[in-house]
Amino acid sequence: MLVKNWMSKNVITIDIDDSMSHALSLVKEHKVNMLPVMSRGKLAGVVSETDLKRASASDATTLDVHELLYLMSKLKIKDIMTKNPVTIPVDYTVEEAAETLIREKISGAPVVNEKNELQGIITRDDLLKVLLSLSGFGKKGVQFAFQIEDRAGSIRNLTDTVRQYGGRIASILGSYEGVPAGFRKVYIRAYDLDRSRLPQLKEELKKRATMLYTVDHREDKREFFV
């Protein structure tokens, strides 16, 4: 899944010579916490809500309100912006983007092409939307979590059982974190299940793998087995 398909394309930007007060107005009006700074059509930096608060707070104790407002109208974005910001290439995958945001400890970054032209912005909220899409959460079905042997056919054995009970598979996610060698965790989300047969389905699945938990998102019911 590519960043270009999940990034926000309608980006609110600010010019390098704009004032700090204008930036504060944009942040408040559009409810964003970061503005890409442009210079002659190219990305020159970013200014965050934190940058703006820090710049205004630095003189807040020594200036009265009128003086502070005047300062904010005269202070240029180029004086407070972050130069050479972290950017995300437009052809990155969402996993690469997430790794970059975590590594750099930032909540979002501009997305650029090979000419450093702004294409959009990707934020943690955007990446959470990817997670929801991949997991099939919107179907409000049942998630089954297992620890299974890492061998051919082990997942199909479970999904075939779910389908035998009328379930439709919304997503299958897996992980090797926190499991012994030769095993993996698998998370299967299914919907259109006959709730009256759900207890029987769980018993059938337990015969085929170690069931960790089930969460019925439609009924908001949770069972934990390990």
| CATH number of the domain residue 169 falls in | 3.30.70.260
Single out the residue of 200, 193, 181 nearest to residue 218, CA to CA: 193
Instruction: Please identify which residue in the block is written with the tokens 């204008």.
Output: 22
Q: What is the pLDDT of residue 51?
A: 83
Same domain, 123 and 154: no
**Of the residues 91, 109, 131, which one is the last residue of a structural domain?**
131
Q: What is the pLDDT of residue 60?
A: 47
Instruction: Flag residues of the chain having pLDDT under 70.
Output: 56-74
Distance CA 173, CA 53 (A): 41
Same domain, 152 and 116: no
Same domain, 17 and 102: yes
Q: What is the pLDDT of residue 169?
A: 96
Q: 111 near 4, Cβ under 8 Å? A: yes
Distance CA 223, CA 139 (A): 19
Single out the residue of 23, 20, 17 nearest to residue 71, CA to CA: 20
Same domain, 33 and 73: yes
Q: What is the pLDDT of residue 57?
A: 57
Q: What is the pLDDT of residue 50?
A: 82
pTM listed for this prediction: 0.80
Domain that holds residue 175: 136-224
Same domain, 115 and 172: no
Q: What is the pLDDT of residue 71?
A: 59
Q: What is the pLDDT of residue 52?
A: 81
- What is the separation, in whole angstroms, between the first and last Cα of the chain? 33
The number of distinct structural domains making up the chain is: 2
Tokens at 187, concatenated: 């998370």
